[in-house]
Structure 1
Amino acid sequence: MARPVGTFCLVLHSHLPWLAHHGRWPVGEEWLYQSWAHSYLPVLDVVERLAAQGGRELLTLGVTPVLAAQLDDPHCLRGVHDWLGGWLLRAHEAAARLPDLGAHEHRTATAALETFGTRWRHGASPLLRGLSDAGALELLGGPATHPFAPLLEPPVREFALETGLADAQLRLGSRPSGIWAPECGYAPGMERGYAAAGVRRFLVDGPAVRGDTAFARPVGDSGVLAFARDLDVTYRVWSPRKGYPGGRDYRDFHTYDHPSGLKPARVTGRSVQPEDKAPYDPARAAAAVRRDAADFVAVVRERLVGLRERHGRPALTVAAFDTELFGHWWHEGPAWLEAVLRALPEAGVRVTTLRGAVDAGLVGDPVELPPSSWGSGKDWRVWAGVEDLVALNAAVQKALLAVPPAGPVRDPLRDALAQEALLALSSDWAFMVTKDSAAGYARDRAHAHAARVEELAALLHAGRRAAAAHRVRTWPAHPFGHVDARDLP
């Protein structure tokens, strides 16, 4: 193959809040199991197949510690296996009324059960570690429960990051040198905390570098590199108005066959009512995948050719998405990913990881980043604008930092306090409220965790350790058994 026109990095961000033991439907464990079945299983199946055919440095995959804990948790492993079996039964039930849909769902559910039974029964970590060790992908870490870091007190921010990186070390055998900063949130000075924690690269959104996304950029004099999403390329997929998933031939996410819970329709048209949508046709969807994959490859190549002409040397484009887009929200997403990853090298584009881009010297001049995120407005409004949760989070952090350590050895009660505080500080709760997506559930979760922090802190301050231990035993299971509150600065 001729010299590549440039380099493409695909970055996927896998994250859900802690859902185990906190409800099932419509929000709760069902959310986890749907994403697991429709995104995590097929996306990693694509990576495994390409790796078996010699593919290396295929993509960069972030799995947040709180999600990784659920993907390894025995309760969740049993739950998703039951869910997959239920999916197969629902396909059988629907076959009498919707034979084509029932047959399609039977095939996909059977394949998912086979994949889970042979590759996932011991959790995600063995699978992820094997793909990482083989060089098929780069794994990113992050703070433990995905808090919006710019709004945290610096000691809590440092503690959340250290807890998350330690969790990755425990599960995967190595400490990540790259992270997906939750919500791509950044405040000036955070790079110094990253450097102290051994983090060498992180993600920001394109506007944080004023759209100059052609190279990784050192942040100030820290030596830590910021990779920015190329929105011209990313939005080819993820635009709510023009993105591929809204194409007429793809499965419609929002239309249900209510007796079975399956999705029988294709998009058909953006203004078409659910009852008027055409039946889903896998052959039409497969043709759309081929068409849109070819279009995306052409867009990436054209982008890289233009960047090379502008900068006088080969450059970089980073397309970054939530993993859950592929399969869960966009049924055909995993097939599209596979087609793109196969076609890009044939089009003269080098595909690699963020680490591979650094090794190739795709680093530009230092940059000073403004306060930013990838949320609405590219600022902090999604999280800072929910005033009651901002106040709640401030109280949680104050309580966490005010409880003194019991001594030089681990204190399980203070560890439990730290776990509940981290769960209360998840960025998901404010996001769900801002977007009015299960806002009641989000507020209930945030206030429940905060109330436990307040109660336990009061008992510890009063020296009532027996009562505190009794209360902790009544709480739902926690994601991390290794949280050590002595790590709080």
Structure 2
Amino acid sequence: MNGPLPNKNYLGRLAIVLHAHLPFVRKNEKNSLEEDWLFQAILECYIPLLQVMESSKKQDTSNTKLTLSLSPTLLSLLQNKQIQKKYSSWIKTRIEFLNDLSKKEQAASEFLLRNIKNNYLYWEKCSGDLVERFKNLNLTGNLDILTCAATHGYLPILRENPETVLGQINTAIRSHKVIFGTRPLGIWLPECAYYEKLDEILLNCGIRYAVLDGHGILNGSPRPRYGVYAPICSKKGIAFFGRDSESTLPVWSSREGYPGNSVYREFHKDLGWELSSTELQKKGIPTSRPLGLKFHRITNNNCSLGKKEFYVEDEAIKKVEEHADNYLLSRSKQLKKLSLSASFEPLLIAPFDAELFGHWWYEGPRFIENILKRSTKYFIKLTNLREILLQNPNLQICDPSPSSWGQGGFHNYWLNDKNAWIVPEITKAGSVFVELSSNKFNDDFSIRLLKQAARELLLSESSDWSFILKAGTTTELAKERIDRHLFRFWKLIEMLENKSFIDYKFLKNIEEEDNIFPNIRIQDWQL
């Protein structure tokens, strides 16, 4: 590095922000895809990230800093004792699959078996309580844990009934407080989506800062003096941090970024697609599906899955170290340029889906590990959002622009010809619920019905289903989930309005199955 450093021993600050979220898993459903998504994320992402943070913290507490959003649905799943028990069985089944491979395949998958066993030992050591490990890192200040909307509802399409936005946020805050013992001050807005006057709702709920896409900051009013390189403060008093695209593109893009390198593990070639239905059923897997067992490398993007070469772990480890150095060198050059051209200390905000690191990009946690270890070498100070605001910076007053982190900053990924039909359905349900919740129901049974109706409404509002419908992947699953929760919602409303037709068995079954948010309050939907 050439040239003078700023008044401190670093060029500027980098805040990596990870957003961890998965949709709710039904309690009584066996072998669900959502359950597989969760277990693969635990194995490939959440445990490796915890290991990286805890190991790095022992070596350098001051520079081991990340911001992490844990959605309320994900937290409810991680704390579920039944799911914790099922995860142990799920892992053991995967180990059996790997042990059954041919000698050639066993040699190629040796790294995977070793890593799975290592992660399972970690799981056993903490008795499956990953939330407690996250909590400890939050208490030491190494992690700044944010909340999210309760079921990851896309807030701009809920705005017609502001009370439904309130329900999403208040329920999330209440759940977070029960789990972590303190009210969250920061929030990850689902899909970084913002609309006018959302800051007022956030303020009234006790939220003080959030992350936005760069479009939300750069198109703000007035245009921010320092662009996305410093947080802004809305007129209502909420601080907003803007995504820096230059800091995120090399990591999230499989085409233009690091994850697409030929030596990294191939995501799409999964053992589950190659085994016969008979072989799967012997292990209790009813249909062909990804098992999370992948031991081939990308090789090259034009190579068919059948011609992918076996993964070589040492080559991938070497490459991810190179990529971490390349990333940090690029950020240091970026920060130096910003430092020389402006009289402020620049800040780079790099937000990502947490599941990118480990699940989609297998080497991702090791990349994070190298960033934590090597950042000081490049005169970069790692920080988190809470630490930045604790320094009481002088923020420019600026109202952010409506935006999301979808393409171009628009809302159209969650509102288009594939999923727009959802909006009138959840809007109608939300309007009815808001009206009924404002009535003075004093009897316990009515409140019981309303609470379960609130859960079904929240679950139907999840943006996961809109995303899946647009992506065209498991569309039948997404439609079935929306229809199921709305059906249950309307049946509960019918029972509330006509108590001569109470289906007690139905009520008990869905209370057991959709048992999320035990501390839910109807008052949280009231302005």
Kept after mapping to 2: 8 A contact 1:297/1:340: yes
Aligned match of 1:174: 182
Q: Cα deviation per residue 1:1-46 (whole Å; 9 max; x = unaligned)?
A: 9611001101000000102337555722111111111101111111
1:427 is matched with 463
In structure 1, the residue matched to 2:105 is 98
Q: Which residue of 75, 91, 101 corresponds with 1:84?
A: 91
Separation (CA, whole Å) in 1 of partners of 2:28 and 2:191: 23
1:299 aligns to 2:330 (yes or no): yes
**Change in 2 beyond 3 A, CA 1:109/1:405:** farther
Task: Establish whether residue 216 from structure 1 lines up as the match of residue 252 from structure 2.
Answer: no
Q: What is the number of equivalent residue pairs in this alignment? A: 486
Of the three residues 237, 249, 265, the one matched with 2:296 is: 265
CA distance in 2, matches of 1:174, 1:387: 37
Counterpart in 2 of 1:470? 505
Matched residue type, 2:386: R
Deviation at 1:201, TM superposition (A): 0.5
Query: In structure 2, what residue type is equivalent to 1:177?
Result: L
Q: Distance in 2 between matches of 1:228 and 1:468?
A: 49
- Distance in 2 (CA, whole Å) between partners of 1:325 and 1:279 is 22
Contact 2:112 2:295 in 1 (8 A): no
1:390 aligned onto 2:423: yes
Deviation at 1:452, TM superposition (A): 0.7
429, 452, 464: which is aligned to 1:416? Answer: 452
- Aligned-partner SS, 1:66: helix
CA, structure 1 residues 289+472, in 2 after alignment: closer, same or farther (shift >3 Å)? same
- Corresponding residue for residue 11 of structure 2: 5
Structure 1 position 248 matched with structure 2 position 262:
yes
Q: Per the alignment, in what secondary structure is the counterpart of residue 317 of structure 1?
A: strand
Conservation of the 8 A alpha-carbon contact between 2:455 and 2:514:
no
Deviation at 1:54, TM superposition (A): 3.8
Listed one character per residue, the Cα deviations across residues 85-140 of structure 1 (whole Å, up to 9, x for unaligned) are: 1222222112534132332122111101101011252x333212111112221100
- Structure-1-length-normalised TM-score: 0.95
Contact 2:194 2:216 survives alignment (8 Å): no
Contact 1:424–1:450, Cα closer than 8 Å, also in 2: yes
Distance change (3 Å), C-alpha of 1:99 and 1:279: same
Instruction: State whether residues 187 and 370 of structure 1, in contact with CA within 8 Å, keep that contact through their aligned partners in structure 2.
Output: yes
Give the Cα–Cα distance (whole angstroms) in 1 for the partners of residues 131 and 443 of structure 2.
31
* Distance (whole Å) between structure 1 residues aligned to residue 256 and residue 199 of structure 2: 35
Distance in 2, Cα, partners of 1:362 & 1:487: 32
Determine helix, strand or coil for the equivalent of 1:179.
strand
- Mapped to 2, the partners of 1:54 and 1:472 lie a distance apart of 52
Give the one of 224, 232, 253 matched to 1:239. Answer: 253
Tell me how far apart the structure 1 counterparts of residues 118 and 379 of structure 2 sit (CA, whole Å). Answer: 33
Is residue 72 of structure 1 aligned with residue 103 of structure 2? no
Q: 1:440 aligns with which of 456, 476, 481?
A: 476
Aligned partners of 2:233 and 2:88: how far apart in 1? Answer: 44
2 CA distance for matches of 1:426 and 1:363? 36
**How does the TM-score come out when normalised to structure 2?**
0.88
SS in structure 1 of the partner of residue 351 of structure 2: strand
- CA 166–286 in structure 1, closer or farther in 2 if over 3 Å, else same: same
Q: Distance in 2 between matches of 1:101 and 1:26?
A: 29
Deviations 1:170-217 (A, max 9, x none): 001111100100111100100011111111100100122228210011
2:194–2:402 contact (8 Å) kept in structure 1: yes
| CA–CA separation in structure 2 for the residues paired with 1:235 and 1:87 | 33
Q: Deviations over 1:131-157 (max 9, x none)?
A: 111222110012211101111121111
Give the aligned residue type for 2:228.
T
* 3-state SS of paired residue (2:332): helix
C-alpha separation in 1, matches of 2:107 and 2:432: 57
**Pairing of 1:302-317 with structure 2 (within 5 A):** 302-317=333-348
In the alignment, structure 2 segments of 5+ residues that lack a partner are 220-226, 281-290
Identical aligned residues as a percent: 25
Aligned: 1:483 with 2:520: yes
- 1:29 maps to 35
Give yes or no for the alignment of 1:200 onto 2:211. no
